[in-house]
C-alpha cells in the first residue's frame, strides 16, 4: 500500500485507540475499562485454528507470569462463536475478542488490518494504565512473535517477570 492507503500504526507514547468488542463468551470488553488498574496487551492475530496463531496463543496460555502481569486481549476478525470453540479447544482463558463486524474495524484503528486477506496482521501493543502505547511490534502474517519480547516490554513497565 502507498500514499493515503498506507495503514497508520499508532506511535509509541500516543493514546491507544479505544473500542468495545465481544469476547468469546459474548461479554463486551473495552480496554479503557482497565485504565488506572491494569496494563493491557493487545495481541492481533490472523485466524483462529491456524497453525502459527495457535502456537502463539498456546505459548501465551503456558506463560502464567505474563498473564498475571497484564490483561491480555487477543483479537481476530473471526466471529464470536468461532472464538468460543477455539478457546475451548485450546484451553485459552484470556480474552479472545471478535473484530468481525464492522469487519476489521479494530485492527484498522491500530493500522494492522490486511484488507486483501480480510484479517489482522500479527500486531502487538502494550498499553499502560494511563492508556498510552508503551511498546509495539508488527510482524508479517507468517512470522510468529516471541513471548519473551512481551515479557521485556512489561518489565519496562515495572513488572517483575523473573
Strands 40-44 and 71-76: parallel
- Spatial CA neighbour of 7 closest among 148, 131, 106: 106
**Contact residues for 114 (Cβ-Cβ < 8 A; gap 6+):** 46, 120, 121, 141
Half-sphere exposure of 3 (CA within 13 A, CB side): 1
Contact by Cβ (8 Å): 49, 57 = no
Catalytic residue numbers read: 53
Amino acid at each position: 500500500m502507498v500514499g493515503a492507503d498506507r495503514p497508520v500504526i499508532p506511535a509509541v507514547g500516543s493514546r491507544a485507540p479505544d473500542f468495545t468488542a465481544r469476547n468469546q463468551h459474548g461479554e463486551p470488553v473495552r480496554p479503557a475499562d482497565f485504565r488506572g488498574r491494569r496494563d493491557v496487551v493487545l495481541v492481533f492475530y490472523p485466524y483462529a485454528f491456524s497453525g502459527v496463531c495457535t502456537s502463539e496463543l498456546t505459548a501465551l496460555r503456558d506463560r502464567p507470569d505474563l498473564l498475571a502481569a497484564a490483561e491480555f486481549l487477543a483479537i481476530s476478525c473471526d466471529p464470536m462463536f468461532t472464538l468460543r470453540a477455539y478457546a475451548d479447544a485450546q484451553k485459552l482463558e484470556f480474552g479472545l475478542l471478535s473484530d468481525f463486524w464492522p469487519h476489521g474495524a479494530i485492527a484498522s484503528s491500530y493500522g494492522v488490518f490486511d484488507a486483501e486477506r480480510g484479517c489482522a496482521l500479527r500486531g502487538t501493543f502494550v498499553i499502560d494504565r494511563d492508556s498510552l502505547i508503551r511498546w509495539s511490534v508488527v510482524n508479517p502474517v507468517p512470522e510468529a512473535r516471541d513471548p519473551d519480547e512481551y515479557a521485556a516490554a512489561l518489565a519496562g513497565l515495572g513488572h517483575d517477570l523473573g
